[in-house]
Structure 1
Amino acid sequence: MIQYPNLQINPVIGVTAPSSGVPEELHMLVHQAAARLKEKGMIPIVGDTVWTQEKAKSAPAKVRAAEWNQMMADDSIHLIFPPWGGELLIEMLPYVDFDAMKPKWILGYSDCSAMLLAVTLKTGIATSHGTNLIDIRGEYSDGTTARWLDVLSAKKGDDIVQTSSDHYQKKWQHDNPSPCVFHLTEKTEWKTVSGGPETFSGRLLGGCIDVIHHLIGTEYGDLSSFRERTNNEQVVWFLENCEMNTTSLKRSLVQMKLAGWFHNCSGIMFGRSAANDPVEGYTAEDVYREIADELQIPVVYDIDCGHVPPQITFVNGAFAEVEAGSGKGTVRQTFK
């Protein structure tokens, strides 16, 4: 059984930095995002780790974990919302008190997806892969990003339908701020390896493949208890590549396959990526075709997930029905 947190009206939002904190020159971004939450009737509580950044982390692993454990155990906090990702979240996992975790939403992506996946696999608590705090600081959010609140407000038994975006952001323009943060200039097109429409369903699991594949072989990447909780239902993986070239991506996928992570997998979705640099003509499309052929499953790519926004909010543990075709896509998630 998957536990779905219940986001209350006017929730209290715990902001902590399990990976990277925010350097002083960018503190205004946190203040702007906190102000947006307050405008929506939410109450942000910002932890000490958010305001510091040194040597590729917000604070030493034990310090990050202590603040994380405190917020997770605090019944007055309803959602954990990191400012953004980073590099070294995996360091703090051994100090996280998974046994004491209360069912509450965690929302984020990038390096934070290692925590999201670990929490769902170890505890059965659903976690949400989507926008980070900093990216909701704009005067308004695009229609895809804004759905995070709808998804997290759903109740057990509810269906949440999200559709592919109309346009996406090709590159970050931090020196050219806009009212909705993102510059959505490129037409979105979900693609399939088969070239035709695809439909598949199963329990959602995924995140940034750069970091989650490092959980393989550890207690934080053990899928056995998750399979027991979900009666060995099929799994739909959503994956996005932040920095890897195509051979690194393929190595990570092979590692996942050899570790049994793709056992009983009904389909894979890959997010758009600004990485995926080809190696000797070996492209991301080659990787997608090979994994589809090796696993004999449908593969959809260039979906709204990851570091090329906007993002659909995917819930680890939720039951999903995926439809893709003619450049469009729909994901129906059921909290069951």
Structure 2
Amino acid sequence: MMVFPAPLQPGDRIAVTAFSSGVPPVLHGQLDRALQCLRDQGWQVEEGACLRGESQDASAPAVERLAELKRFLFDPDIRAILPPWGGERATELLPGIDFAALARLPPKWVAGFSDISTLLTPLTLLAGWATLHGPNLFDLGNPQRAEENSALLHALHYGLPPQQGHYKAFWRWDAPGERYPSTLRVLGAQKARIAGRLIGGCLDTLSRLQGSPYFDLRAFKREPALLYLENCELRPCELMRALLGLRLSGALDGLSGLVLGRSSGPDAADAKALSYSGALEAALDGLPYPVIVDADIGHVPPQWTLMNGAWAELEVDAGQATLRFEKGCA
């Protein structure tokens, strides 16, 4: 059974801990601006000890990160956990989390993207908590992302993301001042309407969890299920292998649709190499449901705020999109 966190109220406490990568001192100013944004909403902020540092690609040793994360997950006075951003090493914490015990507790908000997916998706699948895939806490300190950040804050305030439309342009981290026209496409079609209970996250990490309890979709697919994935760093051949691995494992069977975010991974080095588009065609050709590509999800901003566990309806027509959420089936 899916359970949804209650909307945050003034005075509610939000824990900030980096259970993957921490924030080095050079970026503490932007982190402070993001934390002030939370305080401006009327919420209290509790900083964890695993936050303002980085060593060995993590904020702290695994045992310390796990202990702090568990403390916040099980503390009834903490209403939300917002990591600053993702990283590389969240996977090593999963065996130490008692998801069955969490399923017996009132859910709390957990939000972010990238390596944060490593926790968000199991929380939804194993504990039944609805979770938010969207801008990271660190992004709240970036004025360029005010529009998309407002959708995340709306979800925290009201308990469900708002209706969201297609962003007309996107930008890349290596050229933040430039904007590029953005168009969604449906593989092999001009338009599509898909609906289902939403689940997904970062392909780089979730593809490593296939075959484990942490990304087992079989029970989730008892209802129509809508899967979304986004690629951070995978080159076309590795992207193809990751998607084919999910397909061979049965993870892509029985879905109502598949949505892929814009890829931030490198494309083909030359015209003779496998391209990003070619990798998608090789891995996904023949799927019996709509596949939507270049959606506003993931490592190429801006991005939607998605709720894992909510009922979602996505309409795409002529490159434009409308995304709506309900807690129950529409």
**TM-score (ref. length: structure 1):** 0.90
Moved over 4 A (4+): none
2:39 equivalent in structure 1: 38
| 1:213 Cα deviation after fit | 0.9
Q: Distance in 2 between matches of 1:62 and 1:259?
A: 31
User: CA contact under 8 A between 2:216 and 2:251: conserved in structure 1?
Assistant: no
Q: Distance in 2 between matches of 1:131 and 1:107?
A: 8
Alignment partner for residue 283 of structure 1, among 275, 288, 298?
275
User: CA contact under 8 A between 1:203 and 1:235: conserved in structure 2?
Assistant: yes
| 1:281 Cα deviation after fit | 3.2
- Asked whether 1:148 is paired with 2:152, we answer yes
1:49 equivalent in structure 2: 50
| 1:310 Cα deviation after fit | 1.0
Q: Distance in 2 between matches of 1:54 and 1:110?
A: 19
1:241-277 Cα deviation digits (max 9, x unpaired): 0000111111111111122111211211111122142
1:268-307 Cα deviation digits (max 9, x unpaired): 1111122142264322222333444231221111111111
1:164 equivalent in structure 2: 166
- Asked whether 1:293 is paired with 2:285, we answer yes
User: CA contact under 8 A between 1:124 and 1:226: conserved in structure 2?
Assistant: no
Unpaired runs of 5+ residues, structure 2, are none
CA pair 51-171 structure 1, distance change in 2 beyond 3 A: closer
Q: Distance in 1 between matches of 2:4 and 2:177?
A: 33
Task: Quote the RMSD (CA, aligned, Å).
Answer: 1.9
1:203-225 Cα deviation digits (max 9, x unpaired): 11111100011111222122234
1:178-201 Cα deviation digits (max 9, x unpaired): xxxx64622221122124011111
1:173-322 to 2 correspondence within 5 Å? 183=177, 185-227=179-221, 232-278=222-268, 280-322=272-314
**What is the identity, as a one-letter code, of the residue corresponding to 2:120?**
L
CA pair 183-303 structure 1, distance change in 2 beyond 3 A: farther
CA pair 152-183 structure 1, distance change in 2 beyond 3 A: farther
**What is the identity, as a one-letter code, of the residue corresponding to 1:142?**
A
1:22 equivalent in structure 2: 23
1:124-149 Cα deviation digits (max 9, x unpaired): 11111001111101357432332012
2:100 equivalent in structure 1: 99
**What is the identity, as a one-letter code, of the residue corresponding to 2:214?**
Y
Q: Distance in 1 between matches of 2:182 and 2:144?
A: 20
1:176 equivalent in structure 2: none
User: CA contact under 8 A between 2:240 and 2:282: conserved in structure 1?
Assistant: no
1:325 equivalent in structure 2: 317
| 1:161 Cα deviation after fit | 1.6
State percent identity of aligned pairs: 35
Q: Distance in 2 between matches of 1:294 and 1:64?
A: 42
Q: Structure 1 stretch 28-37 or stretch 140-149: which is displaced more? A: 140-149
User: CA contact under 8 A between 1:12 and 1:45: conserved in structure 2?
Assistant: yes
- Asked whether 1:83 is paired with 2:77, we answer no
Unpaired runs of 5+ residues, structure 1, are 174-181
Q: Distance in 2 between matches of 1:330 and 1:44?
A: 33
**TM-score (ref. length: structure 2):** 0.91
User: CA contact under 8 A between 1:73 and 1:100: conserved in structure 2?
Assistant: no
CA pair 221-291 structure 1, distance change in 2 beyond 3 A: same
1:31-63 Cα deviation digits (max 9, x unpaired): 111112112212211101001210111112121
**What is the identity, as a one-letter code, of the residue corresponding to 1:21?**
G
**What is the identity, as a one-letter code, of the residue corresponding to 1:310?**
P
Q: Distance in 2 between matches of 1:159 and 1:78?
A: 17
User: CA contact under 8 A between 1:83 and 1:132: conserved in structure 2?
Assistant: yes
**What is the identity, as a one-letter code, of the residue corresponding to 2:31?**
V
Q: Distance in 1 between matches of 2:82 and 2:187?
A: 34
**What is the identity, as a one-letter code, of the residue corresponding to 2:276?**
A
**What is the identity, as a one-letter code, of the residue corresponding to 1:96?**
I
**What is the identity, as a one-letter code, of the residue corresponding to 1:37?**
L
Aligned length: 322
**What is the identity, as a one-letter code, of the residue corresponding to 2:170?**
Y
Q: Distance in 1 between matches of 2:217 and 2:62?
A: 25
